[in-house]
Amino acid sequence: MNILVKRPIITIFIFYASFLIVLNCLNFFSPQRLSLFFHFAKYNKPVSIEGKVISDIEIVNNNKRFILKASQINGLKVNEKTLVLAQKGYDISYGDEIALVGYVNLPNAAPFPLLFDYQKYLSRENIYTIFRADSFEFIKSSPNAIMKAALFIRNDIVKTIDQYFNSIYGAILKPLIIGDKSSIQKEIREAFVDAGLMHILVVSGLNVGFVGGLFLIIFKALGFPLRKVFLLTIPMIFLYVLITGANPPVLRAGIMFSAVLLSLTLDREPLIYNSLALSALLILIFSPQQIFTASFQMSYLATIGIIYFYPKISGLFKNIKKPYIKAPLSVFCVTAGAQIFMYPISAYYFGKVSAISLLSNMLVVPLIGIITTLGFVFYFASFISSFLAMLLSYCLSLMLAVILFLVNFLGTMYYASIAIAKPRLWQLFLFFFFVFAITGLKGKKRWIISALILIIGISYYFITKIIDNRQTNKTLYENRNMTILHEKTNGKNSFIIAQKQGGYYDKYYIYNFKQYLSYAGLKNSRIAAADIKDEKQFQEDFKDYSVK
359 & 446 share domain: no
154 & 290 share domain: yes
228 & 326 share domain: yes
List, in sequence order, the alpha helices (H) in 165-293. Answer: 167-178, 186-194, 205-221, 226-243, 248-265, 272-286
Buried-exposed string 2-21: b where 16+ CB fall within 10 A, e elsewhere: eeeeeeebbeebeebbeebe
CA distance 421 to 520: 5
Mapping DSSP onto H, E and C, the string for 14-33 reads HHHHHHHHHHHHCCCCCHHH
The 10 Å Cβ neighbour count of residue 76 is 10
272 & 318 share domain: yes
User: Which is more confidently placed, 193 or 527?
Assistant: 527
pLDDT at 177: 86
Last residue of a domain, one of 111, 143, 175: 143
Instruction: Residue 112: give its domain's CATH number.
Output: 2.40.50.140
| Residue 501 pLDDT class (50, 70, 90 cuts) | confident
Residues 315-339, mean pLDDT to the nearest whole number: 79
Kindly give the interhelix angle for 248-265 and 294-314, rounded to the nearest 10 degrees: 50
User: Which is more confidently placed, 69 or 308?
Assistant: 69
Per the structure, the count of domains in the chain is 5
* 1 pLDDT higher than 70: no
Last residue of a domain, one of 397, 419, 441: 419
| Residue 268 pLDDT class (50, 70, 90 cuts) | low
> Of 275, 226, 274, which is closest to residue 253 (Cα–Cα)?
275
Instruction: Please tell me whether residue 63 adopts helix, strand or coil conformation.
Output: strand
Answer for the pair 400, 173: CB distance below 8 angstroms, yes or no. yes
168 & 183 share domain: yes
465 & 476 share domain: no
411 & 284 share domain: yes
pLDDT at 259: 78
* 124 pLDDT higher than 70: yes
User: Which is more confidently placed, 398 or 215?
Assistant: 398
CA distance 147 to 20: 30
Strands 546-547 and 127-141: unpaired
pLDDT at 318: 78
* 429 pLDDT higher than 70: yes
CA distance 493 to 473: 10
**Structure confidence by residue, pLDDT tens digits, 295-315:** 788 888 888 888 888 888 888
* 5 pLDDT higher than 60: no
User: Which is more confidently placed, 369 or 199?
Assistant: 369
CA distance 43 to 35: 15
* 37 pLDDT higher than 90: yes
199 & 169 share domain: yes
pLDDT at 442: 86
User: Which is more confidently placed, 3 or 268?
Assistant: 268
Residues 330-354, mean pLDDT to the nearest whole number: 82
Instruction: Please tell me whether residue 468 adopts helix, strand or coil conformation.
Output: helix
Phi and psi torsions of 81, nearest 5°:
-90, 145
369 & 449 share domain: no
What contacts 24+ positions apart, CB below 8 Å, involve 305-312? 305/337, 305/338, 305/339, 305/340, 305/341, 305/342, 306/334, 306/337, 306/338, 307/272, 307/273, 307/276, 307/337, 308/337, 308/439, 309/333, 309/336, 309/337, 309/340, 309/439, 310/334, 310/337, 312/439
> Domain range for residue 434?
425-469
Mapping DSSP onto H, E and C, the string for 250-267 reads HHHHHHHHHHHHHHHHCC
pLDDT at 270: 62
296 & 398 share domain: yes
Task: Enumerate residues 6+ apart whose C-beta is below 8 A from 273.
Answer: 3, 7, 10, 307
431 & 484 share domain: no
Task: Enumerate residues 6+ apart whose C-beta is below 8 A from 412.
Answer: 191, 194
* 138 pLDDT higher than 70: yes
45 & 21 share domain: no
**Structure confidence by residue, pLDDT tens digits, 403-412:** 999 888 887 7
Answer for the pair 180, 165: CB distance below 8 angstroms, yes or no. no
| Residue 130 pLDDT class (50, 70, 90 cuts) | very high
User: Which is more confidently placed, 363 or 182?
Assistant: 363
* 327 pLDDT higher than 70: yes
| Residue 175 pLDDT class (50, 70, 90 cuts) | confident
Chain CA centroid to CA 542, Å: 31
